[in-house]
Amino acid sequence: MSHCQATRLSDRGVLRVRGADARKFLQGVITNNLDKVEQGAAVHAGLLSPQGKILFDFFVVPHGGDILIEAAKDTLGELAKRLGFYRLRAQVEIAEAPEYDVAAVWDGTPTLPEEAIAFADPRLRALGMRILLPESAAIGRLACAEASESAYHARRILLGVPEGGRDYALGDTFPHEALFDQLNGVDFKKGCFVGQEVVSRMEHRGTTRKRVVPVEGDGPLLSGAEVKAGDLPLGTIGSVTGTRGLALLRLDRAADAASKGTALTAGDATITLSLPAFAGFEMPAA
């Protein structure tokens, strides 16, 4: 058995987009550039509101003549409906693809069953691979040690990679706040997409005040706990694994607190912030 680890992600599902205009249609609405995606590769992208906030985040992978979208399972119906708003006269069919299960693999290379679709996680190499498995395929056929979903999310948290619905609220978060600009989720040169003007303005003006960042407490952290500097709210804890977590925070307020020597707290824990290894933005001094 390989030293790789694998887990089935029960909360993820797949949409299929097919038709003569499928690629052109998606290219005009999502945040990333499908022109740089070939067979066997994927992009991380989002569908935004006209105001530039993330409604859905997902992976897009071409497969044969179709394009598959891997997203949170409980959003697939709404995502298909929202994409349908923009279809107009395009020759496109959008439907759920329940014949696929979604798995994550890391720390090695799996054995792929026939008809499985594998791609490197386009956000960060250290996250490993995503695999769209035929529903009938047992995860044991990947020849990896079977891990829990919580083990995958612990790895993601420690690497500093946020996920929509867990670490930021869909419908109320800008791509920069969710680190799309840091994790290959948006192409600023591709041209138009829904919400593009707002996102481009934030990029060129450098006006992002909030970011999802890793945090560590002196005790266990609770998802949903408010982060404060004294009585001043900074944001909220998202995903957690023990004393480590991710939090969407006002970094300007964190910087002000650091300059005054004011401790940051989340519930009963005192927390410190850190900068992900991939980040290109600055963290307030401790």
CATH no. for residue 256? 2.40.30
For residue 282, is it within any domain? no
Report the distance separating Cα 13 and Cα 62, nearest Å.
16
Please give the backbone phi and psi of residue 253, each rounded to the nearest 5 degrees, phi first.
-70, -35
What is the sign of the dihedral through the CA atoms of 253, 254, 256 and 261?
positive
Domain hosting 131: range is 5-159
Tell me: do 116 and 14 sit in the same domain. Answer: yes
For residue 201, is it within any domain? no
For residue 170, is it within any domain? no
For residue 14, is it within any domain? yes
For residue 135, is it within any domain? yes
* Angstrom distances, CA of residue 12 to CA of 55, 102, 170, 196: 16, 6, 16, 26
Task: Give me the tens of pLDDT residue by residue for the chain, a chain 286 residues long.
Answer: 458 999 999 999 999 999 999 999 999 999 999 988 876 789 999 999 999 999 999 999 999 889 999 999 999 999 999 999 998 888 999 999 999 999 999 999 999 998 899 999 999 999 999 999 998 888 999 999 999 999 999 999 999 999 999 999 999 999 999 999 999 999 999 889 999 999 999 998 877 899 999 999 999 999 999 999 999 999 999 999 999 999 999 999 999 999 999 999 999 999 999 999 999 998 765 4
Q: Are 26 and 34 within 8 A, CB to CB?
A: yes
Tell me: do 138 and 263 sit in the same domain. Answer: no
Could you say which of 117, 143, 159 is where a domain stops? 159
Looking at residue 1, its pLDDT comes to 46
Q: Are 103 and 12 within 8 A, CB to CB?
A: no
Tell me: do 147 and 17 sit in the same domain. Answer: yes
Report the distance separating Cα 233 and Cα 209, nearest Å.
14
Report the distance separating Cα 167 and Cα 161, nearest Å.
9
Tell me: do 155 and 217 sit in the same domain. Answer: no
From the centroid of its chain, how far is CA 131? 16
Tell me: do 66 and 148 sit in the same domain. Answer: yes
Residue 38 CB neighbour total at 10 angstroms: 8
**Structural domain count of the chain:** 2
Which tokens belong to 278?
């991939």
Tell me: do 71 and 136 sit in the same domain. Answer: yes
For residue 204, is it within any domain? no
Report the distance separating Cα 84 and Cα 77, nearest Å.
11
Residue 178 CB neighbour total at 10 angstroms: 27
Tell me: do 152 and 225 sit in the same domain. Answer: no
Instruction: Give pTM, 2 decimals.
Output: 0.94
For residue 140, is it within any domain? yes
Tell me: do 34 and 134 sit in the same domain. Answer: yes
Helices (H), 90-195: 149-159
Could you say which of 121, 139, 159 is where a domain stops? 159
Q: Are 255 and 264 within 8 A, CB to CB?
A: no
What kind and span of H or E run contains 260? helix 251-260
Tell me: do 143 and 227 sit in the same domain. Answer: no
For residue 126, is it within any domain? yes
